Structure 1
Amino acid sequence: MGRKQERLQEYGQERYQAAGLLLSFYGDDFTGSTDVMEALALNGVRTVLFLEPPAPEALAAEFPDVRAFGVAGVSRAMSPAEMQRELEPIFERLRAIPTPLVHYKICSTFDSSPEVGSIGRAIELASAVCPAQRCVPLLVGVPELRRYTVFGNHFAGVGAQTYRLDLHPTMSRHPVTPMDEADLRVHLSRQTDKTIGLMDILDLAGDGARVRSRLAERLAERPDILLYDVLDEERLKRAGELIWEAAGQGDNRVVFGSSGVEYALVAHWREVGLAAPDTGMLQPRGAVDRLLVVSGSCSPTTESQIRYAIAAGFAPVPIQAEKLVDPATADQERRRLTEQANALLREGRSPLLYTALGAEDLAIGATREKLAGTGHAASDTGKLIGEQLGRLTREVVADNRLQRFLVAGGDTSGFVMRELGIYALECLMPIAPGGPLCRGYAKDDRFNGVELALKGGQVGKADYFVRVLEGK
């Protein structure tokens, strides 16, 4: 028996294939969750993303050959109390489905705070549902997306530059969860009293025996959370191997992290024969003649995409966000935008609706002032704007029988999906890392089979919107 066959037996291939599943995950938003789905699907692991945890019998009946599934949420926009109400039943339902691993997906830029989207609180809730698990692995780096963790400090690339997280031009000035600390252990310690260990880049270097010895030493320190450094693909694969091995040794099912978790796992799965690149994605329609774009993102990356798309012929429609967050004017502003988008689509044009042109847009300050004047907290921004943009998207897609649309912004994407009643997504094709084109599943025939791209603020090059229109 060769070494590969021995490793397949060691990791229990027959048991996992019999169950038909390798992984389940809960995403912090739809954009982050599609990132996970893409990483798996590109490596031949058919994956479906749901709005709510599916019943096991429904999963088997509608998606019999699925090998991974996820649940998208909006927990990163929630307070700790809201997270508890949202996450406790979800963790319970995911625990009941026999996947070897349950992954809680967080943003690769770790944006969170004690008050909003607390990753520490989410770890506490998961640990309470799975009390037998002594230590929760945490992996945030994604070389594919130019996210790196080195000696516990996190870095992210923008253009040709790579920034420490507290100096990142977008994340250091995030309107809700600004990142003022690059050491993920320090940042996380503000959100939880759990102890945090580190498996650093030196621990992950060397042969398998040495790395496992260093892991044993780190675990002997009895941390509640173990952060993995990620600098390159080799260390990423090694981390995936360690996380997968631990999942096969007792109750070590829960892992926290970015889509780097999936990239780490599939790198290891390919090595042992559990995954292989193939044509696991569905096939898109190709180019469409019109595309609705709705952007709730204020990142510089999205700004460059908006400007590029307008120069390429998209019709700009600025959203007066300060009116959307005011109950007295929200419906009127949504109707105005809907009418303008419908008129442009009837002319055969692609309307591009946006709340801001980058982080310096004066509209952001006006929206904050309006929020304060109406008694809302800054953390309410995503919900108030997202709900209105979700209703707008539903009306425009239905009125024009659109085959494809695009949403920019994590919080916005989640609310749009809920408004359209889309209960599941599956990858069609990659457009940019972290922003694939997807197929939507819905009970309503007007939206069932619609193609959509959901992108986070940092995802894609300048021509991303045009590539979605052209299906490239």
Structure 2
Amino acid sequence: MNSTVELAFYGDDFTGSTDVLESLSLRGKKTILLLRVPEKKDSIIYSDYDCVGVAGISRSKDPVWMKAELPKVYQFLNSFDPKYIHYKVCSTFDSNLHKGNLAVATQVGIDVLSPSWTSIVVGTPKIKRYVCFGELFADSKGETYRIDRHPVMSCHPATPMTEANLVKHMHQLGEVDCASVNLSMYSDDSAATKLQQFIAENKVVIFDSVDHSSQAKVGALINEHCQEGLHFSVSSSGFEDAVYSQNKLVENINITSKSRILALSGSCSSITSSQIDYALSHGFIPVELDIARLLMLESRPQYLDEIVQTCIDLLSSNKSPLVYSALGPQKSGSTTASQDGDLHFDEMLGSFLGAIALAVTKTGLIERLAVAGGDTSGYCIQSLNLDALTFIAPLCPGVPLCRAHAQDSDIDGLELALKGGQMGSEDFFVRLCSGGE
């Protein structure tokens, strides 16, 4: 079909999907993020958009699920006949053999799409993620660490990163043949020569990116070498920042303040824990979930009603509730759940948070919704039965304020922000109220 869509993407979690939505929108690309692959595709709906994305949950899924479900997604994205198809991953590139396996996502994409070649662009300098000589580094509280020594990601409860070399990391995940184009090649023509060699050898090419200059070089290399055929990339939002680096950034988008916010967190990140502490010291009211009660299937509906009523009572008094399941990895409900043999805790928790969000939103009491947690946010937002999200404004790097589009008039137009565990400044929840004022 004829299409105006030049880039189509799938996010392996919902928070990462909104990250791409922001990157493209700030580069002047009109973008819509779908919350599911539609059963029927109406080309008229997409004719006004430069880019189309689908928010997914593959980050929390095993290879069996990925091999069964991802081909349908790739086929849908390819139906737009875009120049680029992007499988969006977290800029920490965390993955393991059994959960969100990036080698599986890459190989399935190559098999289904038959791209001219495939890239991996993980470095995202705007959020202090860097790839240098093929190794990944990330910031934590002002200090930069190699990812396998990062105080959070090296001991992530689900996908700990034990290898910083991305070629080796991908090889550990599967039989994807990768090669690295590094910074030392960027100052002369050797990068282009090496890239041509790797493309001829059918290698998946990993690029270094440490600042705007190197990011622009990556974008130029990719664009120069994908004049014919589809380009496939398994990357962070650094891919968009690279290939559209010459586009002028949209600036001066203001966010108005709101007084009633519903904040939900299923994250066990220490970064989110600090954000929760900050919010509670600045007016948010804590609503801590009792994981033991959450795990009791028979009484879970009653517990849900209690939490919903607590939130309604607080909002009716112009107070913003912050519902959370954990304060850091040491106080994580997922630990309790795994000990009890519940292998689907993320899905259960996300669905529970989604039921809270749906019930409270339909009262008309909330003006904005925040959800923290890359895995749980996907299940949470699915409960709202949204059709799509569009960009409103940047809230903090990688976490935009979005507008919900839904057939339910109580939900349609809701403003929301989805935050991965490692994302956002300490005042994230407070900024959602103040608008950054």
Could you list the per-position Cα deviations for residues 87-135 of structure 1 after superposition, in whole angstroms to 9, with x for gaps in the alignment? 111111111112111100011111111101011111111111123x364
* 1:232 equivalent in structure 2: 211
Q: Is 1:353 aligned with 2:317?
A: no
- Where structure 2 has 5 or more consecutive residues not aligned to the other structure, the ranges are none
User: Residues 27-76 of structure 1: CA distance to partner in whole angstroms, max 9, x if unpaired?
Assistant: 01111011111111112111111112358963533x54321111000000
Alpha-carbon distance in structure 1 between the residues aligned to 2:7 and 2:40: 14
- The 8 Å contact of residues 42 and 280 in structure 1, kept in 2 or not, is answered as no
> Which of 10, 32, 37 lines up with 1:53 in the alignment?
37
Check if 1:216 corresponds to 2:196: yes
- 1:409 and 2:341 matched: no
Correspondence 1:247 to 2:226? yes
- 2:268 is matched with 298
CA distance in 2, matches of 1:296, 1:101: 33
SS in 2 for 1:25: strand
Maintained 8 Å contact 1:56/1:97: no
Q: CA deviation at 1:362?
A: 5.8
Residue identity matched to 2:197: E
Normalized against structure 1, the TM-score is what?
Answer: 0.88
> CA separation in 1, counterparts of 2:323 and 2:284?
10
Contact 1:46 1:68 in 2 (8 A): yes
Quote the Cα distance in structure 1 between the aligned partners of 2:190 and 2:61: 41
Report what 2:147 is aligned to. Answer: 165
Unaligned runs of 5+ in 1: 1-17
Q: Per the alignment, do residues 219 and 292 of structure 1 end up closer, same or farther by CA in structure 2, a change over 3 Å counting?
A: same
Is the 1:325–1:385 Cα contact (8 Å) retained in structure 2?
no
Equivalent pair of 1:439/1:452 in contact (CA under 8 Å) = yes
CA distance in 1, matches of 2:390, 2:251: 13
Residues 325 and 367, structure 1, Cα contact 8 Å, conserved in 2:
yes
TM-score by length of 2: 0.94
Residue in structure 2 matched with residue 459 of structure 1 by the alignment: 423
Match of 1:277 in 2: 249
> Hey, what does 1:321 align to over in structure 2?
291
Shift of 1:164: 1.1
What residue identity is the alignment partner of 2:69? E
How big is each residue's C-alpha offset from its partner over 1:260-296, in whole Å with a ceiling of 9 and x where there is no partner? 00110110xx2xxxx3334697x75x11121000001
Counterpart residue number, 1:206 = 187
State how far apart, in whole Å, the 1-side matches of 2:378 and 2:333 are.
Answer: 22
- The aligned amino acid for 1:258 is S
Aligned partners of 1:105, 1:33: CA distance in 2, in Å? 7
Determine what percentage of the aligned residue pairs are the same residue. Answer: 35
Amino acid at match of 1:50: L
How many residues end up aligned between the 2 structures?
Answer: 435
The match for 1:181 is 163
Q: Which of 126, 145, 163 is equivalent to 1:144?
A: 126
Aligned residue number for residue 400 of structure 2: 436
Which of the numbers 1, 9, 12 marks the counterpart of 1:28?
A: 12
Residue pair 2:334, 2:345 contacting (<8 A) in 1 also: no
Say whether residues 1:69 and 2:52 are aligned partners: yes
Asked if 1 retains the 8 angstrom alpha-carbon contact of 2:116 and 2:231, the reply is: no
Maintained 8 Å contact 2:7/2:84: yes
Structure 1 residues 215 and 431, CA gap change in structure 2 (3 angstroms): same
Q: Distance in 2 between matches of 1:247 and 1:110?
A: 24
Distance 1:395 1:337 in 2: 10
Inter-partner Cα distance in structure 2 for 1:30 and 1:450: 16
RMSD between aligned alpha carbons?
2.0
CA–CA separation in structure 2 for the residues paired with 1:116 and 1:57: 30
Residue 419 of structure 1: aligned partner: 383
- Match in the other structure for 2:234: 256
Q: Judging changes above 3 Å, is the alpha-carbon distance between structure 1 residues 456 and 349 closer, same or farther for their aligned structure 2 residues?
A: same
Partner of 1:138: helix, strand, or coil? strand
Three-state SS of the structure 2 residue aligned to 1:446 is: coil
